[in-house]
Homo-oligomer: A and B are copies of this chain.
Amino acid sequence: MHILIIGAAGMVGRKLTDRLVADGGIGGKALDALTLVDVIPPVAPAGFTGKVATLTVDLSQPGEAEKLIAARPDMIFHLAAIVSGEAEADFEKGYRINLDGTRYLFEAVRREGQKAPYRPRLVFTSSIAVFGAPFPAKIDDTFLSTPLTSYGTQKAIGELLLSDYSRRGFFDGIGIRLPTICIRPGKPNKAASGFFSNILREPLVGIEAVLPVAEEVRHWHASPRAAVGFLMHAATIDLEKVGPRRNLSLPGLSATVGEQIEALRRVAGEKAAKLIRREPDAVIQKIVAGWPSDFNPARALSLGFRAENSFDEIIRVHIEDELGGKIA
Contact = CB atoms under 8 A, between A and B. Distances in A.
Contacts of A168: 91, 150
B163 A146 contact: yes
Contacts of A1: none
Interface residues of A, number: 23
* Identical subunits present: 2
B144 A145 contact: yes
A143 B144 contact: yes
A163 B244 CA distance: 25
B132 A150 contact: no
A153 B164 CA distance: 7
A161 interface: yes
Contacts of A136: 142
Nearest to A141: B144
Contacts of A143: 142, 144
A160 B153 contact: yes
Contacts of A284: none
A119 to B, nearest CB: 15
Closest 4 CB pairs of A and B: A153-B164, A144-B144, A146-B245, A153-B160
Interface of A: 91, 132, 136, 141-148, 150, 153, 156-157, 160-161, 163-164, 167-168, 244-245
